[in-house]
């Protein structure tokens, strides 16, 4: 699967792929990462990419010209690409989106900087628009990395053990039960004794109960969704 980052700041993005799981997936050629800098397409004298907002307002807005030119050329060379814009003015990105988008062969993330991107670019080129949460970042790069990471780990072969995908938080609308590693007793703090007895059906019911507790405490609206879905499935 290929990811293209359309960004003025490749350096911000690049470092993320230099270690761990995604680095390995790139080495195994399961993932391919490339970059496109709209500044390289600017027709202005000093390769300008932004200007003041038409109609007034604080801050600078990314001009349409460098983005139109770069995305037009890019689309003509990559016919199957799915283009995603990152902005706080969008639907929230969810685990279901990560799973759905992992089936695409090529995704491009377009990151805005400054006060955002001229809306005409979004209208012309966005297949989808996502926000990663109700807060404002200095640019879309971090958001695009969040999406890329969440999507990539659902691509076949990226994670070593595909079991780890099926029991994760949000797969059932419940938050995941707590996990523990060795030793069983660390500084006199013990893991729940039920986890140690090897009775897998008991461990499963304890984990479910703990999942429900966590969900009720941190995300009560998710618990409601879980219970509604379960009663619907009966």
Min dist. Cβ of residue 22 to ligand ADE (A) = 20
Strands (E), 82-223: 82-92, 106-111, 128-131, 185-186, 189-190
Of 11-19, 59-67, 136-144, 193-201, the window that binds ligand ADE (rule: CB under 6 A) is 136-144
Determine the Cα–Cα distance for residues 37 and 71; give it in Å rounded to an integer. 10
Kindly state whether residue 98 participates in binding ligand ADE, applying the rule CB under 6 A: no
**Cis previous bond, 132, omega within 30:** no
Kindly state whether residue 136 participates in binding ligand ADE, applying the rule CB under 6 A: yes
Query: Contact with ligand ADE (CB under 6 A): which of 122, 140, 152, 158?
Result: 140
Question: 8-11, long-range: CB within 8 Å, 24+ apart, which pairs?
Answer: 8/37, 8/38, 8/39, 8/49, 8/111, 8/113, 9/111, 9/113, 9/139, 9/141, 10/35, 10/37
Of 68-76, 100-108, 131-139, 215-223, the window that binds ligand ADE (rule: CB under 6 A) is 131-139
Determine the Cα–Cα distance for residues 79 and 218; give it in Å rounded to an integer. 43
Determine the Cα–Cα distance for residues 95 and 147; give it in Å rounded to an integer. 10
Query: Contact with ligand ADE (CB under 6 A): which of 7, 42, 65, 87?
Result: 87
Determine the Cα–Cα distance for residues 134 and 222; give it in Å rounded to an integer. 18
**Cα distances (angstroms) measured from residue 119 to each of 32, 37, 40:** 29, 19, 21
**Cβ nearer to ligand ADE, comparing 102 with 129:** 129
**Cα distances (angstroms) measured from residue 27 to each of 20, 24, 69, 158:** 11, 5, 31, 11
**Cβ nearer to ligand ADE, comparing 37 with 210:** 37
Kindly state whether residue 135 participates in binding ligand ADE, applying the rule CB under 6 A: yes
Kindly state whether residue 62 participates in binding ligand ADE, applying the rule CB under 6 A: no
Min dist. Cβ of residue 136 to ligand ADE (A) = 5
**Cβ nearer to ligand ADE, comparing 53 with 213:** 53
Kindly state whether residue 6 participates in binding ligand ADE, applying the rule CB under 6 A: no
Kindly state whether residue 147 participates in binding ligand ADE, applying the rule CB under 6 A: no
Angle between helices 200-218 and 220-233 (to 10 degrees): 130
Min dist. Cβ of residue 91 to ligand ADE (A) = 11
Kindly state whether residue 64 participates in binding ligand ADE, applying the rule CB under 6 A: no
Kindly state whether residue 121 participates in binding ligand ADE, applying the rule CB under 6 A: no
Q: Please give the residue ranges that form the binding site for ligand ADE (CB under 6 A).
A: 86-88, 131-133, 135-137, 140, 143
């Amino acid at each position: 699967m290929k990811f293209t980052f359309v960004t003025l700041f490749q350096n911000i993005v690049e470092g993320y792929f230099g270690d761990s799981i995604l680095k390995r997936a790139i080495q195994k050629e399961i993932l391919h990462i490339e970059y496109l800098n709209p500044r390289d397409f600017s027709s202005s004298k000093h390769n300008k990419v932004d200007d003041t907002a038409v109609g007034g307002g604080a801050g600078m807005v990314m001009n349409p010209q460098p983005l139109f030119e770069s995305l037009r050329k890019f689309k003509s060379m990559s016919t199957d690409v799915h283009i995603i814009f990152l902005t706080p003015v969008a639907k929230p990105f969810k685990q279901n989106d990560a799973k759905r988008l992992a089936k695409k062969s090529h995704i491009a993330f377009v990151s805005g900087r400054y006060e955002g991107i001229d809306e005409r670019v979004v209208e012309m080129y966005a297949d989808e628009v996502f926000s990663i949460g109700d807060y404002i970042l200095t640019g879309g790069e971090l958001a695009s990395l969040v999406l890329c990471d969440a999507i990539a780990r659902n691509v076949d072969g990226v994670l070593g053990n595909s079991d780890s995908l099926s029991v994760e938080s949000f797969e059932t609308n419940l938050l995941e039960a707590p996990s523990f590693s060795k030793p069983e007793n660390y500084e006199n703090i013990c893991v729940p004794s039920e986890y140690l007895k090897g009775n897998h059906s008991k461990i499963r019911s304890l984990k479910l109960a703990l999942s429900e507790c966590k969900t009720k405490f941190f995300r009560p609206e998710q618990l409601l969704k879980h219970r509604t879905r379960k009663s619907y499935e009966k």
